[in-house]
Structure 1
Amino acid sequence: MNPLKKREITLSLKQEAKKLGFDFCGVAKSEFLKSEESHLENWLKNGFHGEMTYMENHFDLRLDPGKLVENAKSVVSLTYNYFTEKEMQADSFQISKYAFGEDYHHIIKEKLFRLINFLKQDLGHINIRAFVDSAPILERVWAEKAGLGWIGKNTLLINKNRGSFYFLAELVLDVELEYDPPFKTDHCGTCTKCIDACPTEAILPGKVLDGSKCISYFTIELKEEIPTSMKGKLNDWIFGCDICQDVCPWNRFSKPHREMAFQPHPDLLEMTKKDWIELEETTFQKVFKKSAVKRTKFNGLKRNIDFVQNQ
């Protein structure tokens, strides 16, 4: 494909992504992530994945998009904003902002499929796959390589203009597009607000997250009982945690999302701690019918509530 055609297709892809509600779209050359190999290996050896044994699977796939899509040439990274200024009641337990509305997987995946159809109209038959937190792919690394931001000390991707309250998504395809320059400047500087604020000390020096200590891990991923050593450390979080993002200075640039599907259920923001403690399964099914909170199931959420209540 000649350079002019590559530029034209890449530009039209980014314009279409903008129309679909994605804030940023960047493209990186698909290649084996040799620089990440030892980092991932050490992270697993240290047991920072806790009981998330699935992280041990597909080691090669995590490093090489070419094993996800045959003859992959490009990795398109996109961001989708979920920041909201709406808050839970002061006298309430807390859930992460990303789970206020409908499950993001379905919302964003549908938009990615529309992007795929858009590309196929121009390119014909291509090998292409869409991913939203649903495959062994190092999404933050690819987003950084695509110029969308830098990986902060809390290991999240931070964008200078929008902070970090957004979902990441990818398209991997066997078409050579025009590549964006990688983001090379770390703007965290000497700031350690995220490290200092984490109540479980899950954020380690060197941009390393001990996932086995993260509040999100305890309240979502861990299927067994939450260790008693965490008593008094989960604050009021019962699903996920936003602490390291809430304290990040770059999130002063976050703008409220405009996705209707991410609007919280009317009952959610009215709930008090008493309401949570007395939560029944019928209410759980009504309020979280399409929410990511359903990942914990009713019994899992009640476990979290009981643990936090009795800290």
Structure 2
Amino acid sequence: MIDTKSKYTQFIKSEAKRLGFLSCGISKAAFLEQEAPRLENWLNNQRNGQMSYMENNFDKRLNPTLLVDDAKSVISLLLNYYPSEFQNPDSFKISKYAYGEDYHSVIKEKLKELLFSIQENIGEVSGRAFVDSAPVLDKAWAAKSGLGWIGKNSNLLTRKVGSFYFIAELIIDLDLEYDFATTDHCGTCTACIDACPTEAIIAPYQVDGSKCISYFTIELKENIPDEMQGKFDDWAFGCDICQDVCPWNKFSKPHNEPLFNPKPELLSMSKKDWEEITEETFKVIAKNSPLKRTKFSGIKRNIDFLR
């Protein structure tokens, strides 16, 4: 006979699959002991650059019970975003995660539905959904839940589909069966370290966020430092280099989420189109997209820097 905890766990995992999530892993909601010194060290060395929000809510980042009263379980979920179509090769590059609609809203809807389904089928369960915008160490929880391992480029990697997916969490006050962490399969490979043009991967498993092309093109609000000239390899929004060269991403499969399908205009744009882009055109392309993050002025700055 299946016990209640096991039955609930199986139900949640099957619902996650029904909602289109790639995989679902569950961990006990408790203080992240191993991550605490790593995060402290990373912040002390100012690896976050101008991302000052990373310094806020230090305790909450490490302890889910401070985010959800009486939290018992952290449900980690992966949602694939690997595209089936790519940009015009003669274009400034946009990170693949920004091809479609803003993932925050797409995933939040799925998480709301998952929580509703849990409450409807299991009973009174309280919880909160988290998608990349709250103080939750999503990669750490996903690794703890056995969904992959954190690679040398500090991304979560899986042997089945590589790393082109979003990570989200549902933290709830229900005891469930917990998964085990998987093993590291980076081996002696240093492809990501060797390929990073700004040397942001300062050592295996250590990324200096303030040197990353994604940081310069999205997070940095002022001018990009002159010493970075010629190092961006035409990336105008984000950067996928360390993922593109990762051998495990040979196994990436196209997603089946219609909302992540790219706008045809985005795929067809050439460098010339980007250089001559007007605010009106940008608004059309960036509507409901992660591209809105930089605003028109930011994308213009990035393109001017690449010219």
Secondary structure in 1 matching 2:34:
helix
Matched, 1:212 2:210: yes
Taking the aligned partners of 1:182 and 1:210, their CA distance within structure 2 comes to 25
Please report how far the alpha carbon of residue 206 of structure 1 lies from its aligned counterpart in structure 2 after TM superposition: 3.7
1:108: which partner in 2?
107
Residues 64-143 of structure 1: pairs in structure 2 closer than 5 A: 64-143=63-142
Q: Which amino acid aligns with 1:261?
A: L
* Distance in structure 1 (CA, Å) of the matches to 2:46 and 2:227: 17
CA deviation digits over 1:60-104, x for unaligned, max 9?
001000000011110000000000142211211000000001000
**Structure 2 counterpart of 1:22, which letter?**
F
The answer to whether the aligner puts 1:267 opposite 2:272 as a matched pair is no
State which of 187, 194, 197 in structure 2 corresponds to 1:196. Answer: 194
Corresponding residue for residue 163 of structure 2: 164
Query: Partner of 2:3: helix, strand, or coil?
Result: helix
C-alpha contact 2:84 2:255 (8 A) present in aligned 1: no
Corresponding residue number in structure 1 for 2:49: 50
Identity %: 60
TM-score, structure 1 as length reference: 0.97
Q: What residue is the counterpart of 2:33 in the other structure?
A: 34
Q: For residues 249-291 of structure 1, give each alpha carbon's deviation from its aligned partner in whole angstroms, at most 9, with x where no partner exists.
A: 0001110001111111111111110000000011001111111
Q: Which amino acid aligns with 1:222?
A: L
In 1, Cα distance between the equivalents of 2:22 and 2:126?
25
> Which residue number in structure 1 is paired with residue 295 of structure 2?
297
Offset of residue 123 of structure 1? 2.9
Residue 12 of structure 2 is matched in structure 1 by 13
Consecutive unaligned residues in structure 1, runs of 5 or more: none
Matched residue of 2:107: which SS? Answer: helix
Please tell me whether the aligned partners of residues 263 and 285 of structure 2 are also in contact (alpha carbons under 8 angstroms): yes
CA distance in structure 1 between the partners assigned to 2:251 and 2:90 by the alignment: 27
Deviation string 1:160-197 (CA, Å, 9 cap, x unpaired) is: 101000000000011101111122x1100000000000
Deviations 1:227-254 (A, max 9, x none): 1111011110000000000000000111
**Matching residue of 1:249:** 247
* Per-residue Cα deviation, 1:24-80 (whole angstroms, up to 9, x for no partner): 001001110111111101000101000001111000001000000011110000000
Aligned-residue Cα RMSD (Å) equals 1.1
Counterpart check, 1:221 vs 2:219: yes
In 2, Cα distance between equivalents of 1:134 and 1:142: 15
SS at match of 1:34: coil
Structure 1 runs of 4+ with >3 Å offset: none
Q: Deviations over 1:104-154 (max 9, x none)?
A: 000010000000000101232222000010111111110011010100000
SS in 1 for 2:277: coil
CA distance in 1: counterparts of 2:15 and 2:71, whole angstroms: 22
Partner of 1:235: 233
